[in-house]
Structure 1
Amino acid sequence: MHKASSWLIAGVLGTSAATSQAATLEQRMAAFEARASAAEKRAAAAEQQTQALARELQQIKLATSTAQPVASTATATAVPTLDSRLATLEARQQSMEKQGSTEHLTDGFSFKGYARSGLLVNDGLGGGRGGPYASPAGSVGGAVGRLGNEDDTYMRIDLSKELYAQNGTRSKFTVSIADGVESSNDWTADESNLNVRQVFTELDHLAAFKGNSMVQNATLWAGKRFDRDNFDIHWLDSDVIFLAGTGGGIYDVQMNKNWRSNYSLIGRNYGDFSEGGVDADVESYILTSNQFFDEGQWQWMFNAIGSKKNDIGTRSNDAGLTPADSGLHSMLANHQKTFFGAEGFFKTALLYGQGLGAEVKNVGSDGELIDEARAVRLALYGETPIAAGWRIGPSLLAEQSKDRYVKGDNYAWMTLNMRLANAINSNFEMAYEVSWQTMDLDPKGYLQRNAVDGNFWKFTIAPTFKPDVGELLTRPELRVFASFMDWSSELDGYSTQDAFGKTDFNAGGVWQYGIQMETWF
C-alpha cells in the first residue's frame, strides 16, 4: 500500500518524486558500476559476466532517461520495474564478487598423474631383478609383461591451467614432471632422475577460426610434449607409438565429415659429439602427418625424419659405421570401440620404418641406426569380459628388423601376453598374467652382444585391492604378487650387461615376490 500511494502521489504532484526516484536509481547504479569494476580486477572469469551486466545497466539507464515525468499508467509501472531489475542485478553482482574472491585462483586448473612403487624380493631374500624389458629382446623393444616384474618407483605429474580470453579463445599451459628410481630408500636425491618431460601451450576455440569449418575446432600447440594421440599396451608397459620432442603443430583439421588431420614438426637431439677437435651438435627433425577416418576408427600416420649432421665424418655409431641421416616411418592402426562386437575394445597397429625410422615405437629417437635399417612391427591388444566376474586382456607384440646397427644383423621376436582378473567382491580381485616370448637375435657383435635363439616364460598371481572391480584399467590398485620366470639357458649368454646370466638370476626357474601400488587419474 505504501508504494502504491507513492506512485499515486507522484502522478498528482508531477515530476519531483519521479526525479528523486531517478536520482536514487542513478546513485545505486553508480555504486553498482564501481563494484563491477572492482570485480573485474579480482577475477578474470568474472569479467565476461560483468560486461553482460554492464550492457543491461545501460538499457536501464536509457529507459530511465526516456521516462516521462508526468502522471501516466506507463510512468507508474516503469519505476518499480527498473527498481526490481536493478535489485536482481545487484544480487547477481554480489554472487559474482564472492565467486571471484574465493574461486578464481583454481579456475581452469587440473592435476593429473601416474605413479607406481613397489618392492621386489627374490626367493633368496635378495633384491629382485627383471623389469618389463628384462629379456635379450628387450634391447630392441621386446617387452615381456609388467605384472609382478617391476622393482622401481616412478611418478609423473601433469599440471595444467586453462584461461579464456574475452573473445572466447581458450589457452592451456601444461608442465609434466617425472622421476624414476630403483632404490627402496626414502631419500634418493643422489639417484634421482627428476626431469621436466613436457612444457607446452595450446590454443583452441580460436575466435579467428570461427565460421571456417576446416579449422574452427582445431588446436594449435607449441613447446616440448608427448603427441596427444600416442597409445600403449599397458600390460606390457610398451607404447605402440610414441612421438615426443620439442616443436609445434595443429590438431583436428577437419578435412571433411569423416576425415580429420594432425600435423606437427618436432625436433630431437642425438647428443653432442667431438672428434678431432670438431664439435657436432646433432639434431633430428620429424615432420608428421596423422590422419583419422570414420570418427577415428582408422588411423594412418606418416613421419619423415631428417638429421643432416648425423652422417658427418666425426660421427659414427657404436659399431664404427656411419649412421643414417634420414628415415621414413609409417603406421596403419584400427581402433575398435568393441571387442569384435562384444563389450570392451580392441586395437590393431602395423608399423614400418627404414633408416632413422626403423625405431618404429619411439619415432626418431635412435641416432645409431644405419641407412640400410628396416623394421616391421605388429601390435594387437584389447579387453573384454569372458564370464561373470572375469575379464581378459590379451596382447601380441612382434617385430622383425634387419641391418639396424651393423649390415647383416637380424632381430626377430614375438611376445604373447594375457592379463586376467576375477572379481571376488566390490573391492578385491585376483589378477593373473601369463607371458611367453620367443626370439632369434643376431647382433653381429654390436655392443659385444652374442647371437641367441630361445624362449622366455612368466606367470604371475596378484591378489589386488582397488576402489571398484569390473575393469582391468581401473586404478588405483594395491597388490601383492608372486611371479615365476624361466627361459632358455642360451639366453644367459646374450650380453654381460643385461639381467640374464647374473648370479641368482639365470635359467632354471626364478621365483620373485613383492608388493606394489599403481595409480593414475
Structure 2
Amino acid sequence: MQKASSWLLAGVLGTSAATSQAATLEERMAAFEARASAAENRAALAEQQTRALARELQQIKLSTPALQPAASTAAVISAPALDTRLAKIEARQQSIEKQGSSGHLTDGFSFKGYARSGLLMNDELGGGRGGPYTTPAGSVGGAVGRLGNEDDTYMRIDLSKEILAQNGTRSKFTVSIADGVESSNDWTADESNLNVRQVFTELDHLAAFKGNSVFENSTLWAGKRFDRDNFDIHWLDSDVVFLAGTGGGIYDVQMNKNWRSNYSLVGRNYGDFSEGGINADVESYILTSNQFFDSGQWQWMFNGIGSKKNDIGTRTNEAGLTPADSGLHSMLANHQKDFFGREGFFKTALLYGQGLGAEVKNIGSDGELIDDARALRLALYGETPIAPGWRIGPSLLAEQSKDRYVKGDDYRWMTLNVRLANAINSNFEMAYEMSWQTMDLDPKGYMQRNAVDGNFWKFTIAPTFKPDVGDLLTRPELRVFASLMDWSSDLDRYSSTDNFGKSDFNAGGVWQYGIQMETWF
C-alpha cells in the first residue's frame, strides 16, 4: 500500500511532458555512456575523466524521479537544470574523445568543399558565353549576377587534420586543392588548372598562453592561405575583400572584452622578369592589421603593401609605365546579425586604396598599378524573408578608380542585383535574379581598350531542387534556368578580346539556357 502511494504521488507530481522528457534524457544518457566507453577504449589518457563522467551519469539516474519511481519529491531536478548539466557533460565527452583521437585516420579529420558544374547554351544550341565578370566593367572587378550566367566547372576541396597534444594545445593542418575548366568533356587533363591554393598549419589553445587574458584564445598560423575573415557577396561571385598569400600571423588577440585583433604578414609574387641583363623575382609584401569591435559587428582593416623591386627598371606595366612599389589599403565594415531588425543579415563595407592598394578587393594582387592609382568601393548586401515562402537577397557593389594603369584613366561602375526565391514545397523553389550594371570606362588606350559608356541587364528564372527550402544559402542546389541578357551597343567596342562584340554575342538581346549544380559543405 505504501509503495502504491509513492507511485501515486509520483504520478500526481509528474506530468506527461516530464515522462516524455525522461525517455529522451534516458536515450541521451545511453548515448553518452556508449561514447564514454568508446573513448575509454581508444585512449588511456582519458580513462580517469571517463570514469568520472560515468559516475556523474549514474548520479543523474539516481536523482531523476522519472528513472526512479519511488524517489521522493525532494529529489526532483528541474528540466532546465538537468539539460544544463547534460550539456556540460556532453561538452566534456567531446573533449575526451578528441584527446583519444591520435593515431586514428578519421579522428580529427574534416573534409569541406565547394563545387559548381553546369551546361550553358544559347538559343541556337551553340556554346553559351558569360560569367560574373563578362561585362567591360568586369575587367576592373565589376561583377554582375551569377545565376544562369556560369559556363564552367569549378571545385575546391579543403582537407584538414586536427591533433590534440597532451598539454591541451591543438594543431590543425589544412590543404586546399582547386580546379576549374570550361570544357563539357569528362576528361579535361589538357585544360586543367589544378592547383594547391592553400597549405598551412594553425596552433590554438596553446598551453603556454593559458591564463594570459590577451593571448589565451589566440590562434597562430603559418603557410599559404586565404585570410580567415575574408567575406563575399555570393550572388555576384565577388569577394568584398580577399587577402591571400604565403606568410604567417596571429588571430584573436583579445585586447579587451569588446576588442579583438588579427595581425599577419603575407607575400605575393608579381613574376620573374629580365631586362638589361637583370633578373628579378618581384615580390610583394602585405602587412595587415584587422580590428574587430563590439562582438565583431564593426571591423577596421588596414594594409600596408611594399614591393621595392617593382619599380627599379626591372619591369614596366602593359602601358609601358613604371608601376608602383608601395600602397595603402583600408576597409571599414559593419556586420549586422539581422536585416534592419528583421530575420536575416546585412553587411556594409567601404574600401579605399592607393598605389598597389588600389586593387581594393584582391589585396596586393595587381602589380600593374601605378603610384597615382586611387580607388573607392562600396558594398552592401543581405538576406531576409519578405513574405511567407519568399526570401530576398539584395546587393549593391560600386567603384570609382582613377589613374590605375595610365595617368588620366577613369573607371566608374555600379551593380545592383536582387536574388529572389519562392518556396513551392519542402524541396522545390523558384529562384529569380535581376541584375543591372551601369558603367563609364575610359582606359586611355590601356591594353587597346576603348572608352565606353552604357548599361547591362540580366534576368534569370531558375526552377531549383534542394534538400530544404527557406534559406538562400542552403546547398546543394540542382537547377535548370533561362537567362535573358542585353546591353548598350556602345559596350561592344570596349575590347576585341572580350565576349562583347563577337558576331553571336552582341547588344540586342541574348537568350541562354542551362542546367547546373552548386554545392558547399
2:382 alignment partner in structure 1: 382
For 1:133 and 1:280, locate their aligned partners in 2 and report how far apart those are by CA, in whole Å: 32
Residue 43 of structure 2, aligned match among 23, 41, 46:
46
For 1:125 and 1:435, locate their aligned partners in 2 and report how far apart those are by CA, in whole Å: 24
**Secondary structure of the residue that 2:496 maps to in structure 1?**
coil
Could you list the structure 1 runs, at least 4 aligned residues long, displaced by more than 4 angstroms after superposition: 50-55, 99-103
**Secondary structure of the residue that 1:425 maps to in structure 2?**
coil
- Quick check: 1:222 aligned with 2:222? yes
2:245 alignment partner in structure 1: 245
The code of the aligned residue for 2:294 comes to: D
For 1:163 and 1:506, locate their aligned partners in 2 and report how far apart those are by CA, in whole Å: 55
CA-CA distance at 1:104 after TM superposition: 2.4
The code of the aligned residue for 1:477 comes to: E
Q: Which runs of 5+ in 2 are unaligned?
A: 1-37, 53-95
CA-CA distance at 1:155 after TM superposition: 0.1
- TM-score if structure 2 supplies the norm length? 0.82
CA-CA distance at 1:150 after TM superposition: 0.2
Equivalent residues in 2 for 1:226-305, closer than 5 Å: 226-305=226-305
Q: Deviations over 1:148-199 (max 9, x none)?
A: 0000000000000000000000000000000000000000000000000000
Q: Deviations over 1:361-420 (max 9, x none)?
A: 000000000000000000000000000000000000000000000000000000000000
CA-CA distance at 1:103 after TM superposition: 8.6
1:314 alignment partner in structure 2: 314
2:58 alignment partner in structure 1: none
Q: Deviations over 1:466-518 (max 9, x none)?
A: 00000000000000000000000000000011110012100000000000000
**Secondary structure of the residue that 2:335 maps to in structure 1?**
strand
**Secondary structure of the residue that 1:408 maps to in structure 2?**
coil
1:108 alignment partner in structure 2: 108
Percent identity over the alignment is: 88
Q: Deviations over 1:25-52 (max 9, x none)?
A: xxxxxxxxxxxxxx99x99x61422577
For 2:323 and 2:258, locate their aligned partners in 1 and report how far apart those are by CA, in whole Å: 40
* 8 Å Cα contact 2:101/2:108 also seen in 1: no
1:211 alignment partner in structure 2: 211
* 8 Å Cα contact 2:46/2:100 also seen in 1: no
Seen in structure 2, the aligned counterparts of structure 1 residues 474 and 356 have a Cα distance that, compared at 3 Å, is same
For 1:101 and 1:266, locate their aligned partners in 2 and report how far apart those are by CA, in whole Å: 32
**Secondary structure of the residue that 2:43 maps to in structure 1?**
helix
Q: Which runs of 5+ in 1 are unaligned?
A: 1-38, 56-95
For 1:100 and 1:298, locate their aligned partners in 2 and report how far apart those are by CA, in whole Å: 39
For 1:103 and 1:359, locate their aligned partners in 2 and report how far apart those are by CA, in whole Å: 45
Q: Deviations over 1:212-247 (max 9, x none)?
A: 000000000000000000000000000000000000
The code of the aligned residue for 1:505 comes to: F
Between structure 1 and structure 2, the one with the greater Rg is: 1
For 1:272 and 1:241, locate their aligned partners in 2 and report how far apart those are by CA, in whole Å: 26
Q: Name the Cα RMSD after superposition.
A: 2.1
CA-CA distance at 1:315 after TM superposition: 1.0
- Quick check: 1:489 aligned with 2:489? yes
CA-CA distance at 1:105 after TM superposition: 2.0
The code of the aligned residue for 1:195 comes to: N
CA-CA distance at 1:276 after TM superposition: 1.7
**Secondary structure of the residue that 2:129 maps to in structure 1?**
coil
For 1:210 and 1:412, locate their aligned partners in 2 and report how far apart those are by CA, in whole Å: 51
Seen in structure 2, the aligned counterparts of structure 1 residues 100 and 168 have a Cα distance that, compared at 3 Å, is closer
Seen in structure 2, the aligned counterparts of structure 1 residues 419 and 54 have a Cα distance that, compared at 3 Å, is closer
Equivalent residues in 2 for 1:153-164, closer than 5 Å: 153-164=153-164
Equivalent residues in 2 for 1:77-116, closer than 5 Å: 104-116=104-116
Instruction: Give the number of equivalent residue pairs.
Output: 440
2:442 alignment partner in structure 1: 442
1:352 alignment partner in structure 2: 352
CA-CA distance at 1:340 after TM superposition: 0.2
2:21 alignment partner in structure 1: none
Q: Deviations over 1:273-319 (max 9, x none)?
A: 11122111000000000000000000000000000000011211000
- TM-score if structure 1 supplies the norm length? 0.82
1:30 alignment partner in structure 2: none
For 2:177 and 2:134, locate their aligned partners in 1 and report how far apart those are by CA, in whole Å: 26
